[in-house]
Structure 1
Amino acid sequence: MPYEEETTMLARTLLAVVALAIPLAVVPPAVADTPPTDPAAAKSVTLITGDRVTVDGDRVGFEAGPGRKDVRYVTEGTKDDWTLIPLDVAGDVARGVLDRSLFQVPRLIAAGLDDGSVKGLPLIVQYRDGAAPKTSLAGARTLTSINAVAATAPRERAVWAQLGQDSSVAKVWLDAPVKASLDRSVPRIGAPEAWQTGFTGEGVKVAVLDTGVDDKHPDLAGRVEAAQNFTDSEDAVDRNGHGTHVAATIAGQGAAGTPARKGVAPGARLLSGKVLDDRGSGNASGIIAGMEWAARQGAKIVNLSLGHPDEPGLDPLEQAVEHISADSGVLFVIAAGNDGPGASTLGSPGSADSALTVGAVDSEDELAGFSSRGPRVADFAIKPDLTAPGVDITAAQAGTTGHIAYSGTSMAAPHVAGAAAILAQQHPDWTWQQLKASMVGSVKPGGPLTDNGAGRVDIAKAVKQTVAADTGTLSFGHLRWPYDDEPIERTLTYRNSGTAPVTLDLALEAPEGVYELGATQVTVPANDTAAVTVTAQVKSSRPGAFPGRITATGGGVTVSTLVNLSTEVESYDLHVKMIDQLGTVPDRPDDFMPMTLMPEDGGPLISIGVNHGDSEGPVRVPAGRYLAYAVLRTRFPDGHQELSVVPVPGLEVKADRELVFDARDARLQNVETDHDDARTAGETFTFIQDRQDGRQWGARFSLDRFSLPRNVPPDPLRFRVSPTKGKARGFRFEMFSQLAALRPDGTFTDTPYQYNLLLRREGSVPGALRVRDRELGTVRAHLATLRADATGAFGAGPVTDGPVGSYTSWSQAVVSLPATPTWYFTPGVPWRRSIETMPSGRLHQTDEHAEADSYRAGRTEKERWNTGVVGPALPGNATVTRNDKAVTIARVPLWHPPLPGRSLMSSNYGGGTTTLLRDGQVVGTADKLPGTVAFPVESGPGRFQLVLDGTVSPSASELSTKVRTEWSFTSSGAGPVPLFVLRASPELDLHNAARPGVLVLPLRLERMTGATRPLSRIGVEVSRDGSSWRKAIVVPTGKDTWKAIVPILPRQGEFASLRLTARDTAGNTVRQTVERAFRVR
């Protein structure tokens, strides 16, 4: 049997389509066409709302969930990182009740949370203080530290419909995916010296929350007191190795023949919480559950060598660190992450204030290139706190008795966790804050503070020192612009646990003029404390972080304390106000409306939800120029609602100001044409803004109306757009509009024409647009039919090179087939087109697509669609290759349109097989058509036969219902296989019928790369019953082209079948049989 990659043609529902590279797009619930999909690449995500998003390369399909046909969507972000939010929950996202991560589709797919990989989205449902956590979802896990439950939202349930009605719900989070932070150390941090003083971490419980621990390894035998599994893996056994390596670094015994490989705290007792599965991945909820378990088990130290990207605010993992630290006295030692060397790449939960966050250094104490750096996002706080060895660290290897070397901040964190265990043994009464402060204060300084923190851990010094500061970092906060010169005071306290007073000399290393010490010397009495005042004063207008270090030395003691103050960039308050089409300020509490600012300097997008027509307090915005826009909802007295988009290009922010979005002038973007009955059937409009870095922002809003329900007044579903005054620098308005003839029943079915327009305006949004037919390219379309009772749906979309990508919404005009509509196109723009064929009353069955073509103004062209003969082909993406192990067949279609630049998909194959033979013996058969199929073969020469045999259900097509292609070729070794086919394109009428008698059948050759020899023989035969065949006369007409004189034997109303054969001068052959290739009138 072959080994194979299954690639079936997707039965695609009609979906609305927008480009990925769009910072904002709004899409209605209607359906529209997408270009051909590679099913292996296409992935779908079902949102918490029940809506389904399908992504295939740069194409996105939206399918509203059951009962949600009137929902529209907002898409914002960049080409590779965007968020899709249904507008009916956009307010919940804006006010923080729904986690934006639940709608970040590319990230969900990258994390393996698409529908094909998981049963549903993993959620953490957090409840308000005082409200008991609850859920009806199966398999829920309670997370008491953050007052939440974790569960999976099954795809078949739109769970937000229930959760959104529960007033006790504070926020619904994505249960974020988390991975291990993996990319001659113990003596370097002074552990042996600490052991000599009698401290090995004896009796201190250290929890390793990781992939489990192999307690059968000699280095860890007898060290694990308890183990618990918090993953979907079958048990708590470490099959990954990461957790065992971490555990051995903390408390390994060096018993596997190498005593020098002892862990930092060989006397410590271990708790193993398996929070990462056998692949090294987990979810936030499992990690939080493990953290809570570790605290209940009495852990003093918890090691977390894991994380995920940090964002502003406290996510559930950060909340759990803060709450459990405060409630249980646990010190969390957390890896910084391996996303360096860029600034502000620190991961969560290492970003939590309470965490002792660890970066990685090499054997020379140089920061590792992979080690994540600070400062922390949003507030510029110093993180990591310190560093530890993390490059080429050798420790126990799970499943063996040996050792292995790993690198990563995962390896650095357990050095610090072991050191903390030693210190906890020495000072059993110390709080986690004291342990953290002592660890940070006793480091070996080195490297930039925002990258390395205080420096590299030194447990030997920590054990010996009798003086420690009350904090590792003295923070002066984040100052708002404009900065006054008012001094800010903080108190730094030193504690002496020794029996003699210690006099400390204080030295300050910091940016000049920012900090001042209240004293340069302080004496700390025995078993007592002494304080010194530290003052910060901003005299610089430079925004950013101002890190520094206070070093206290004396009496054999050196204590380091970090200081930090950060300042805001020049910023001002925006007071946002919204006025709807009726001139009123929206006053409903559920009217949260999105407002977005796109900075010309390329800074991050600013997006908020505006409630009650006004922002809840001012919006803080950096100074600069912006493209601003908002979406406003107007509720009319008769109950219907309309959405308006109000742009404000060229917004100058250089002082506190009011920003008003006034929708009273908003209007439909109608285009006047030469047809009086033309109405907008689909539209996409785009705001484009040049940026100072040479790139562009884009915001796209889309509407599709071809497939809206009948008898629905369509205009209220369209967006109104407010025209703008003047000409804004670097701003462009672009609109893709499709117009057709509107029928009395409110549909566009059987429209005799369709306009496909891409219109642009520099500097402003126009109030009116107008085109004339003579300014456009014209196509007289001949839409044939593949069956007697079919309808067709035509779609078109322009290819653009702007920030919003090539694809816009493809509206589909439904026509009864056959048909001869007229299509108009904006000239000079490449257009992709498609026609779907559907049996009456069914979803589409076949789908023909054309490569992008441009049209010339004033020129009329003819295009044929759905024409025969549909048969075998070798398009550019088809490959058949051989290597030393296999013959691989990929994307070789049996059904393909005869015209160049076309492709065909069908959602209803009746069945098919792919068979490979070698020297007359069957190598293997796949009970499907490629897709991709690989047949294993031995090396060496041979005579091969490749046979593709398939059928199409009559419900899809009455033509080319059974197709068989047989290739015979000689192959000596690795390389492309010499395949070729003949393509037939006779002149047929709109029913794909030929007149009885004699038919001239044009033929052309399609080759694969390996087929270079000329043909030596061609044969054409025709049959009325598929069993008796009559030969045709074939004559050449040019290079690789011929024509056959075909006798048409069937009577009127019957079908003709074709058999085409060919041989090249190397003896390679093809035999193609197409049953019911065309009709006979």
Structure 2
Amino acid sequence: MRRLKRPPGPVLLAAVLTFALVAPPGGAPAQAAPAGDPVSTPESRVTLITGDRVTSSTIDGRTSVRVEPAARDRTASFREFTRDGDTYVVPADAAGAVSSGLLDLELFNVTGLLRQGYDDAHTPTLPLLVQQDAAARVATPSGGTVRRELPDVGMTALDATKADVARFWGDLATGERARAAGAVRKVWLNGRVRANLDQSVPRIGAPTAWAAGLTGRGVRVAVLDTGIDTDHPDLVGKVEQSQDFSGKGTVEDGHGHGTHVASAVVGSGAASGGRNRGVAPDAGLAVGKVLDDYGSGSFDAIIAGMTWAAAETGAKVVNMSLGDGRPSDGTDPISAAVNTLTRDHGTLFVVAAGNSGADGSVSSPAAADAALAVGSVSKQDVPSPFSSRGPRDGDGAVKPEIAAPGEDVVAAMPSGVPPLGEPVGDAYQRLSGTSMAAPHVAGSAAILAQQHPDWTSGRLKDALVSSAVEVAGTGPFGVGAGRVDVARATATPVVATGAVSAFLPWPNRGAQEKRTATWHNSGAAPVTLALRADLPGAPDGLVALSASSVTVPAGGDASVELTVTAKDRPGTFPGVLTATSGSVTTRTALSVRQQEEMYHLSVTATDRNGDPVPADVARVTAQNLDTGRFTSVGAEPVRLPKGRYVVDGLIQTPRPGQEPSSTLISHPELVLDHDVTQVLDARDGKRFSAEPDNAAARGGSHEVGSHRKVTACDCTWSHTLSVDPRLEEVYGGTVPGTGSDGYAMAQVRRATEPVLELAADDGRRFDVKANWLDRAGPAESLALPVAHGGAGTPEDLARIDANGRLVVLELPANTGFDELGRRVAAVKAAGGRLVLLVFSTSGLVQLRSALPEPFALPTMYSMYSVTGTRFTAYARTAGATATYASNPLPEHRYELVYGVEKQVTADQVHRPRTSDLVEVTTAYHDNAAGEVRYNAAREFFGRWVGFGLTQPAAAQQERKEYFTPGRWQLMWSSAWRGLLTDTRELTVGGQHRIAWNKAVASPSLRGLTQTYVSEPPRPWAWRKDDVFDLSLPMHGDAVGRPRKLDVFPEMGMSGSISLYRGGTLVATVPEPDRATIPVPAQDDAYRLVVENHVASDRWPLSTTVSAEWTFRSSSAADAKALPLLTTRFDPAVDLRNRAPAGRLFSFPVHVERHDGAVPGVRPAVEVSYDDGRTWEQAGVRAAGDHWTATVRHPGSGYASLRATATAADGTSVRQTVLRAYQVGG
């Protein structure tokens, strides 16, 4: 069976610009399961272009992110916000580049990066598109490689290696090399796009055109899609040219979308006796496979395919049933390529508008000026609810310009490929989407081009649009001028301008704009047209015509002027200019956007010493509370729409000989209804501090953040910074006299012993702001002599005595990570004991490498810090010494979260006693010693506050941990053992105990999951739209927390999912835990068999987990959890997941479904001590709300467990775990 990996849901196809297809000791009591299972997603991590790494997870419907900053020359801060359901994290020092247009905001869309498979688990590079000035060639910044040159559109596709992306960004942002030599104008994310007939073809009048001999003969149409089945009867002999851009090597369609689209344009209908003919059955066909067999393609592949189609194939028309699914203003890279190629080659690009359905949702590349954007209607000319609507984002221009039938379109289905929609016989399938509408228009354009071979792409576009049939009860923003009618387009002698748009910028009262509408008459007699402009709901007098009629001479043109006069009411107003004369009618779609009020915002900033600070240095941002758009505010005033804004900045104040203090100050709700100069004064900030009564726990981190609730998106935007509490002071505040019920400021103090301490005495003792560069050194405390080793060159090291010393190396910030490793190795060869790298230039430092080996010596770094500079100078003095302490696995843990709402009027200094905190006994189970990671966040102000960098803890230990009271989300993670989460209400005086990673790891379907916060929570295994959507956590822990392991190659994970219906195999998917499998609507019995194997020393327990489930399901169970049973084992193992040997051993067994325990279902349990070759029956007895199994352990080895259970409704499970826990050892 072919591998199935398609998202479930309605088949609404209009490729989406990710470029992929859019388918609209005896029986100890079991540990109590946590109350309220959280809705969660597995933890995922992305690397931003700035080198910052962002880890994201969704918990209880809220996306939580934490940032691991790249090293900077200033305190890092980040703005987090939500737009259209996606979470963005923008570093403050990149906000200006986003606002100026240098950087694409989508580079910081964490949700989008994950959705497109650009997370760190799936790709080591960040794909970029760089636009350069004409005749310039991008000088590849450090860490970048060229993927594809796109000279026709002035772009280059680059892959920036994540292991070195900070240097890439440093070169781009500050390097003269990339700026001068490359003349970089903009950097986009090289995103991915997705792919977006019997009654539909007659509906648009194609048979009438055929009867006139107009079938597209002599005209070539290029279809850029998932490829084609060249052996399909309807397409045999049709392909004249083809090329693959997806990397597959052939244009074979392994998805199905491209074959369907191509046949809707040129299909012969041979497999249906001519019934399912395409619109232009005699047109030539060029096929560019720009989307892979999952319906997805990169921006650069799309643009390369467009260039080929326009410049090399001779295609007059190009169909693109694809898009990125996000509203575009027409300036994105693919839209820009459409405009350039249309201008240079005269090609008409016909593009699906998208399947978002909302107003203002037309996506790229349909948003391009030159594109003919196509919406969808039913065969009864009712606008399709899924069809993306205009106006275009930004200027309010008409988009889409036209519509065509896009619902239930029957067209060709490739052989051997699972259907995307409902099969119609063996050769066809029925699909819906603007992807299906676009080829109707592309075919119509081919027919027109046959009739008028001398017409330009612009004339063809105008002819189709202006001859469109009115769709009753709709405005232009849904269907443009109307539904395509190729019979009418080929019969009418008059062609009008297809669409006219006007934009009146503020201030616009009384302002006027002139536009022209033109009519061309190809007939032999003049035509006099009566004109009428209708803009329902627009202010009176908004649009005036220079004449009420126009006479168009035979073979000539005539024009009228439209005067657009701004009125008192801003907004976007659609309409139609109709011209009639007897049987001749033309329709011109109209749109006028009168811009809302705009005002200037200026910001002056002052530090705590009273000295002025430039606004750009203070990293001031303004974010609109109604639209979500944010702007960086620099030295010059910025022009913004009237509205409510949260304005904040991070102001640093110098302190002699010490690290500067940081002040985060906000205006929670600035009303911009006139020009405003806002003062941000750090002296208005109040001290934020939280320290436990344990002096040993002086390390860790201190985070302060401002949080603003936004009603429009039911979300919270945040601006946070994190500092070393030993060395840096933090202040926070609101502008005096301001406040908002929707505003809060919170601090998070994660207190532990310092992982690293470095100090010296140059006449006065001082601590050095330093961090580990690669990984922590061993636990030790030393006093060492210090030597300055220059830049670490052989000549520099030859001049010093490095033996047994801490050697300081001074290097520029953009030194490559691997080069740093070589310098450290040279220090070791010279006898050095430790290394401190001090980066002496501003910029970013890459903190990681693709290399698996650590540095030759424990290596610290100090980035352009006051104390680092001071220590560097001290290292040059004779007899310099330093004290150094490393503690890679701290013993203590305090999690302190405090907040203040509405406004900040007083210092927020907290000194909690340990007795005032909640004590939690935490057990870190693991089969091997080493490091695991933990994290936590407390619920405050409607969000989880506290997720920062994960902190290390020693495995195989039990310790006391302390929390401020409240509802907490707790996390445990390991690079090789996945992520576990737990939600707890922690109260002072309660008995709180939590165990992490406790054996046995086995399937758990408890609660719900969520891929993205924009999607509703769903069961782990459910039925949706006659598709089984399975995301199976096969390694939940003994408490029942679901867990999915990351499929690293080193894990050696393999497996399969097989589904049987009534004894017949439906599909086998070669994945260990994930599948989407279409099923028939009727009720039937199913058997689901899952095998999951891990072959790695890093995962010695639960090496094979398998399950066989039986159940019944039908379409009546749509959008419901599959009734799968699981058996959960909770033995009393020690911290190494070992049970006592040579004795009877009893342990709890639970029978559960996704919504909790299933009472009364008695499991049968077996045990094996030879990895499943032989099995022994275990004794099972009732024990309250669960069961207890008793086995006899041998002297050593591993216990494997097998359990079967059958519920009253007939559903059953047979579950096997090999090497469930260790016996003795």
TM-score above 0.5, yes or no: yes
Gap change, CA 1:525 and 1:773, over 3 Å in 2 = same
Instruction: Give the corresponding residue for 1:537.
Output: 565
| Contact 1:379 1:478 (8 Å CA) reproduced | no
Instruction: Give the corresponding residue for 1:25.
Output: none
Please list, as runs of the form range in 1=range in 2, the aligned pairs for 1:428-827 lying within 5 A after superposition: 428-446=453-471, 447-469=474-496, 471-480=497-506, 483-510=508-535, 511=538, 512-541=540-569, 543-554=570-581, 556-581=583-608, 583-586=610-613, 591=617, 593=619, 595-599=621-625, 603-611=626-634, 614=635, 616-623=636-643, 625-632=644-651, 643-666=662-685, 668-671=687-690, 679=698, 681-691=700-710, 695-701=714-720, 703=722, 705=724, 714-716=726-728, 719-726=730-737, 727-739=739-751, 745=757, 755-765=894-904, 766-773=906-913, 776-779=916-919, 797-800=936-939, 802-805=941-944, 808-809=947-948, 812=951, 823-827=961-965
Instruction: Give the corresponding residue for 1:301.
Output: 317
AA aligned opposite 1:321? V
| Contact 1:37 1:56 (8 Å CA) reproduced | no
CA distance in 1, matches of 2:1073, 2:427: 44
The reply on whether 1:110 has 2:122 as its aligned counterpart is no
AA aligned opposite 1:498? G
TM-score when normalising by structure 1: 0.74
Cα shift readout 1:414-447 (whole Å, capped 9, x = no counterpart): 2222222232233333322222222221121223
CA distance in 2, matches of 1:908, 1:331: 46
Cα shift readout 1:862-890 (whole Å, capped 9, x = no counterpart): 8697999x778998859999xxxxxx998
| Contact 1:773 1:824 (8 Å CA) reproduced | no
Instruction: Give the corresponding residue for 2:342.
Output: 325
Cα shift readout 1:923-970 (whole Å, capped 9, x = no counterpart): xxxxxxx9899xxxxxxxxxxxx99999998x99xxxx9999999999
The reply on whether 1:365 has 2:381 as its aligned counterpart is yes
Instruction: Give the corresponding residue for 2:261.
Output: 246
| Contact 1:551 1:558 (8 Å CA) reproduced | yes
CA distance in 1, matches of 2:485, 2:1092: 69
CA distance in 2, matches of 1:730, 1:293: 53
The reply on whether 1:141 has 2:148 as its aligned counterpart is yes
| Contact 2:398 2:500 (8 Å CA) reproduced | no
CA distance in 1, matches of 2:1054, 2:524: 87
RMSD: 5.8
| Contact 1:738 1:756 (8 Å CA) reproduced | yes
The reply on whether 1:97 has 2:109 as its aligned counterpart is no
| Contact 1:54 1:61 (8 Å CA) reproduced | yes
Offset of residue 321 of structure 1: 0.9
| Contact 1:777 1:860 (8 Å CA) reproduced | no
AA aligned opposite 2:916? L
AA aligned opposite 1:779? E
The reply on whether 1:292 has 2:307 as its aligned counterpart is yes
The reply on whether 1:278 has 2:283 as its aligned counterpart is no
Gap change, CA 1:849 and 1:57, over 3 Å in 2 = closer
CA distance in 1, matches of 2:598, 2:632: 20
CA distance in 2, matches of 1:505, 1:366: 28
CA distance in 2, matches of 1:991, 1:749: 20
Offset of residue 1062 of structure 1: 14
Q: What 5-or-longer segments of structure 1 have no aligned partner?
A: 6-35, 706-712, 837-842, 882-887, 916-929, 934-945, 1022-1033, 1050-1054
Instruction: Give the corresponding residue for 1:420.
Output: 445
Secondary structure of 1:489's partner?
A: strand
AA aligned opposite 1:659? Q
Offset of residue 451 of structure 1: 0.7
Secondary structure of 2:700's partner?
A: strand
CA distance in 2, matches of 1:257, 1:950: 49
| Contact 1:206 1:299 (8 Å CA) reproduced | yes
CA distance in 2, matches of 1:477, 1:4: 47
| Contact 1:630 1:645 (8 Å CA) reproduced | yes
Secondary structure of 2:944's partner?
A: coil
| Contact 2:934 2:971 (8 Å CA) reproduced | yes
The reply on whether 1:381 has 2:397 as its aligned counterpart is yes
Of 792-801 and 492-501, the range deviating more from structure 2: 792-801
Instruction: Give the corresponding residue for 1:310.
Output: 327
The reply on whether 1:347 has 2:486 as its aligned counterpart is no
| Contact 2:198 2:276 (8 Å CA) reproduced | no
CA distance in 2, matches of 1:509, 1:756: 64
CA distance in 1, matches of 2:1202, 2:213: 88
| Contact 2:353 2:375 (8 Å CA) reproduced | yes
Cα shift readout 1:619-640 (whole Å, capped 9, x = no counterpart): 31332x3332233456778796
| Contact 1:360 1:412 (8 Å CA) reproduced | yes
Offset of residue 385 of structure 1: 0.6
Of 77-86 and 417-426, the range deviating more from structure 2: 77-86
CA distance in 2, matches of 1:237, 1:125: 30
Cα shift readout 1:322-344 (whole Å, capped 9, x = no counterpart): 1111122212111112222x212
Offset of residue 372 of structure 1: 1.5
Offset of residue 320 of structure 1: 0.6
Offset of residue 160 of structure 1: 3.7
| Contact 2:937 2:944 (8 Å CA) reproduced | no
Cα shift readout 1:776-805 (whole Å, capped 9, x = no counterpart): 2353869899899x7888956344164433
CA distance in 2, matches of 1:134, 1:1011: 67
CA distance in 1, matches of 2:1203, 2:273: 71
Instruction: Give the corresponding residue for 2:838.
Output: none
| Contact 1:220 1:248 (8 Å CA) reproduced | yes
User: Rg larger in 1 or in 2?
Assistant: 1
Cα shift readout 1:576-632 (whole Å, capped 9, x = no counterpart): 34444555555699x583514251xxx222322334xx2x44231332x33322334
AA aligned opposite 2:439? P
Gap change, CA 1:1001 and 1:420, over 3 Å in 2 = closer
CA distance in 1, matches of 2:302, 2:340: 14
Gap change, CA 1:216 and 1:806, over 3 Å in 2 = same
| Contact 1:575 1:619 (8 Å CA) reproduced | no
AA aligned opposite 2:631? I
CA distance in 2, matches of 1:1057, 1:291: 62
Instruction: Give the corresponding residue for 1:131.
Output: 136
CA distance in 2, matches of 1:951, 1:257: 51
Secondary structure of 1:140's partner?
A: strand
AA aligned opposite 2:368? A
Gap change, CA 1:606 and 1:49, over 3 Å in 2 = closer
Please list, as runs of the form range in 1=range in 2, the aligned pairs for 1:70-219 lying within 5 A after superposition: 73-77=78-82, 81-87=86-92, 89-118=94-123, 120-133=125-138, 135=140, 140-158=147-165, 159-161=168-170, 163-164=172-173, 165=175, 166-167=178-179, 168-181=183-196, 184-219=199-234
Of 558-567 and 1003-1012, the range deviating more from structure 2: 1003-1012
Instruction: Give the corresponding residue for 1:24.
Output: none
Cα shift readout 1:694-730 (whole Å, capped 9, x = no counterpart): 945341525375xxxxxxx8434x6542354344343
| Contact 1:680 1:737 (8 Å CA) reproduced | no
